[in-house]
A and B are shown apart, each in its own frame.
Chain A
Amino acid sequence: MRRHMLPFVLPVVLVAAWALASAAGKLNPYLMPPPWEVWDAGVDLARRGLLTKHIQASLIRVFVGFSVTAVCACVLALIVHLSPLLHDTLRHVLTVLRVVPPLAAIPLLILWFGIDEASKLAVIMLASFFPVYMNVLTALRQTDRRFVEMGQTLGLTTGEKIAHIFVPGALPGVITGLRLGFGYSWRALIGAELIAASAGLGYMITEAGEMARTDRVLVGILIIAVLGAAFDALFTALARRWTAWQALTVDDHGRV
C-alpha cells in the first residue's frame, strides 16, 4: 500500500468499529447513534438547506475573524520586533491578554459589542491572535543575525531587509503560526456561536443538544472536524510551496 494512504487507515478502522459496535447493539443509540443514522441526519439537514446555511455562516465568521487577526498579528509582530522599546511597553499587557481564556471574556464582549457578529468575531480574534503573534515574533527573533549583517554590508534599506531577509526567513514560523491560529479560531467558533447566534455550526450543535438530537450533534462535530482538517491540509500544502527552498521540511510528527 502507498505510504500516503496510511494516515487514512485509522479513521476508516475507527468508523468501522463504531458501525460494528452499533450493529452488535453495544452502543446506546440515544447516546451514540450508529453511523448510518448520523449520515441520514446529515443528508436530511442538507436536503433542507440547513447544512449549507450553517456551514456558510461559520466559514464567513472564521475567515473574516481569522484574516483580520492574522494580518494584525503579523504586522504587530514585525513592528514589535523592529522596535525593542515597543516590545517592552506592550509586554505585560499582551501577556495578560494572552493568558485570559477568550471564553471568559464572552459576557463582557456581549455587553460591549452586543449579540451580533461583532462579539463573535471578537472571540475568534482573541482566540487566534496570540498563537499567530507569538509564532511570528519567535520566527523573526530567530532570523539569522548573520543574514541581517550580510544585508547591512550590501547596503540594504530597512524595507529591503524586511522583504528579502526577515519575511522569507520567518516564513516557516509564520505558516506554523497561521496553522495553529486557524485551528484555534475554528475551535473558538463554537464558543462564539453560543452567543445567541441564529446560524452556524456551533449554533446547530447547541440547538441539537438541547433537543437531545445526538445524531445532529455528531453531524456538526464531524463537519467541523473534516473542514478543519481540510484547511490544515491546505495550509500544509501552501507551506510546502512557499518554503520549497527548505530542502527538508518537518511535519508535526517530526518526519522529514
Chain B
Amino acid sequence: MLRIVLENLKKTYVTGGETIRALNDVSLNVRPGELLAIVGYSGCGKTTLLRHVAGLDRPDSGALRFFDGETPLNGPGRIGYVFQEPRLLPWKTVYRNLELALRHVDVSAAPDRIIHSVLALVGLAAFADAYPAELSGGMAQRASLARALCRDPDLLLMDEPLGALDALTRTHLQMEIAAIRQVRPVTTLFVTHDVSEAVYLADRVVVMDRGGIVHVEDVTLPYPRDPAGVELAEVKARVLDTIMRECPLTLASIRLFANPS
C-alpha cells in the first residue's frame, strides 16, 4: 500500500503584487492505507497540498516521495481525485465520464458492471445517461466521487467530496466511505470543513493554517464508529480546541463553523 513522505514543501504564489505562502514548509508522513483528514480555514492551502501530491503543481522547494513499503516509487500510481468542483466533462454522459476514468484501469469485472454498481453506491443509478448539465450540484459532486472510486485507486485525493450535499445524503455517504475502507483501505487525503466528518472518518486529522501544519490528531477509535458517541465527541472537542488556540480567528472561520453538527 502506498506511503507518502512530504519533506519541507514550500510553494508561494504571487498575485497582484502580494506574495502568498500557500505551502509553508509542510512535512508529513502519510501512512499506508490511512485516511488523513485535512481541516483548516478557507485559503489555508488544503487544495494546494492535494494538487502537489497529485503532481498537478510543482513545489518551489522540498520533496515528495512515494513508497510501497520500503520500495521507492516513481509516483503515486493510480489516482482517484475528487476535485473541489465536480469537473465532469459536459459533453459526456455520467456513464461516459466514468468510462473514461476506467480507460487505463485493468478492471477485473466488466467496466459496465463496475460503473453501474458505483453509481448505485452514490445513489445515481438512474442517472447514468444524464449529462452533467442535467444534474444538481450535489448529484454532480456524487458523480465525481463515483468517478474517483470506480478507478480502484492506489491513492484517493478528496477535496471536500461531500461539501455540497444535504445532511442526510452526506451522513449516508460518510457511512459508505467508512464501510468501503473496512473492506479495502486506500491511502487517502480527505479535505473537509466539517470537523465531525473528519474525526468520524479519519485515522488522523491534520489541522492546517496559513500554509503550514499546526497539529496532527490521532483518532485511534476502531471502526465502525458511532458518529454520536462520546469518544468521537472528545476527539472533536480536542481538534476544535487546537484550531481555536493555534489559528487566530478571522472572518474566514465563519466557513469552518458554518457546518456544526
Q: Do A and B come from one complex?
A: yes
Residue pair A146, B103 in contact (C-beta under 8 Å): no
Q: Mark A130-174, 1 if CB is under 8 A from B, else 0.
A: 000000000000000011011011111000100011001101000
- Complex: A168 Cα to B92 Cα, angstroms: 9
The interface of chain A, by Cβ under 8 A from chain B, is 146-147, 149-150, 152-156, 160, 164-165, 168-169, 171, 243, 245-247
Q: A168-B89, A246-B133 are in contact. List 19 more A-B contacts (CB 8 A).
A: A147-B87, A147-B89, A149-B56, A149-B87, A152-B56, A154-B100, A154-B151, A155-B103, A156-B100, A156-B103, A156-B104, A160-B100, A160-B103, A164-B89, A243-B91, A245-B90, A245-B91, A245-B92, A247-B134
Residues of B within 8 A of A171 (CB): 91
- Please name all residues of chain B whose beta carbon is closer than 8 Å to the beta carbon of A155 when the two chains form the complex: 78-79, 103-104
Return the contact of B101 from the options A154, A165, A243 (Cβ within 8 A).
Answer: A154
User: Which chain B residue has the least Cβ–Cβ distance from A155?
Assistant: B104
Q: Lowest 3 CB-CB distances: which A-B pairs, in order?
A: A168-B91, A153-B81, A245-B91
- Contacts known (A165-B89, A169-B91); A247 close to B56, Cβ less than 8 A: no
Are the C-beta atoms of A150 and B83 separated by less than 8 Å? yes
Chain A residues whose CB sits within 8 angstroms of the CB of B104 once the complex forms: 154-156
Within 70-108 of B, Cβ neighbours of A (below 8 Å) are at 78-79, 81, 83, 85, 87, 89-92, 100-101, 103-104
Cα A247 to Cα B134 with chains together (Å): 8
Contact of B100 among A146, A149, A164, A246 (CB under 8 A): A164
Tell whether A245 pairs with B131 under 8 Å between CB atoms, given A153-B81, A155-B104.
yes
Decide yes or no whether B22 CB sits under 8 A from chain A.
Answer: no
Q: A146-B83, A247-B133 are in contact. Are A153 and B89 (CB under 8 A)?
A: no
A152 to B100, CA, bound (A): 12
Contact A153–B79 (Cβ < 8 Å): yes
Interface residues on B, range: 20 to 34
* Complex interface: chain B residues within 8 A of A245 (CB): 90-92, 131, 133
* Bound form: Cα–Cα A168–B90 in Å: 9
Can you list 5 contacts pairing A with B, beta carbon distance less than 8 Å? A146-B85, A150-B87, A153-B79, A154-B104, A247-B133
Instruction: Say if the beta carbon of B146 comes within 8 Å of chain A.
Output: no
- Give bound CA distance, A146 to B151, whole Å: 19
Considering the complex, give the chain A residue whose CB is closest to the CB of B153.
A153
CB distance from B198 to the nearest CB of A (A): 23
B81–A150 CB distance below 8 A: yes
Closest chain-B Cβ to A156's Cβ sits at a distance in Å of 7
Residue of A153, A165, A245 most packed against chain B (CB within 10 A): A153
Residues of B within 8 A of A149 (CB): 56, 87
Across-interface contacts of A246 in B (CB, < 8 A)? 90, 133
CA distance A245 to B55 in the complex (A): 31
